[in-house]
Amino acid sequence: MKLYKKLILFLLTCMLIIACDKKDDSPNKIIIGTSPGPYSQLFLDAVKPILEKQGYQIKQIDFSDLLQADVALQQGNIDLNVDQHTAYMTDFNQHKKADLVALTHIPTVPTAIYSAKYTNLQAVKKGSKIAVPNDPSNTARAYRLLAKAGWITLNPTNQSSILSKNDIQTNPHQLDIVEMDAGFIPRTLNDFDYSVIPGSRAYAAKVDPKKALLNEDIIPDYELVVAVKAENAQKPWAQAIVKAYQSAEFKKYVQEHNAENYWQMPQN
């Protein structure tokens, strides 16, 4: 019986800890779910200080990947994350029956073509092996970038933000395009002639952005956004985040830390 009572007390204690760790309703407390990459870091370095000057308390909870962060956001355990673009968020909402919305578009690191073998795009040849990400939104970005390089042409009738191999209209170099997990691409640079790496993955793998051979032209669907639950979009803390990203102080920070045009500013 004593053991049973101890077990009950232990479970109640655990429940209390979990409850206390969940998001509280303090109007001055903002919980951000961070993921590996430059966007969370930019928030912590440049946006957090602006908000703290206004009296907000910023709490950071780390997630190993964006999917976990989005689940926590939808469940209300965090207030926001800044590591996804609109296309990814739309896909998450559809598949998870979620209601995340974009507060504002933010600076984005472009997807780019890299190579461990060549220093220019002109070295492409028949049968060159190309690595591209296999998740739908980043696959589409990769194919648009290959088209920008002049290596393929795409089906002009597809106006969707999502593309697949079926949308490749011509492939004159008969490129061997291999779709794979974006996280593995930086580790396998030596196995391919060219590799397409999203900006966040290049950042996490410490790939030198100066070695990019060609950057994408970022369309609005692939600009990074501040994501929150729809019910929170108009709350004072959410609007304070929008104003912080649009402030002269933030823009000055980005300008001073934008060597080699690392950050592309949003179009809107």
Do 75 and 157 belong to one domain? no
| pLDDT per position as a tens digit, 176-218 | 999 999 999 999 999 999 999 999 899 889 999 999 999 999 9
Residue at 84 is within a domain = yes
CA distance 60 to 244: 17
| 114-118, long-range: CB < 8 A, 24+ apart | 114/189, 114/194, 114/195, 114/196, 114/197, 114/202, 114/207, 114/211, 114/212, 114/213, 115/189, 115/192, 115/193, 115/194, 115/195, 115/213, 116/189, 116/190, 116/192, 117/190, 117/193, 118/193, 118/194, 118/213
Residue at 268 is within a domain = no
Q: CB–CB of 192/130 below 8 Å?
A: yes
Residue at 42 is within a domain = yes
Number of domains in the chain: 2
Domain that holds residue 159: 112-217
Q: CB–CB of 179/164 below 8 Å?
A: no
pTM over 0.85, yes/no: no
Residue at 251 is within a domain = yes
**Over 50: is that where the pLDDT of 48 sits?**
yes
Do 171 and 207 belong to one domain? yes
Do 71 and 8 belong to one domain? yes
pLDDT score for 26: 78
Do 256 and 200 belong to one domain? no
Do 239 and 163 belong to one domain? no
Q: The CATH number of the domain where 73 resides is what?
A: 3.40.190.10
Do 99 and 231 belong to one domain? yes
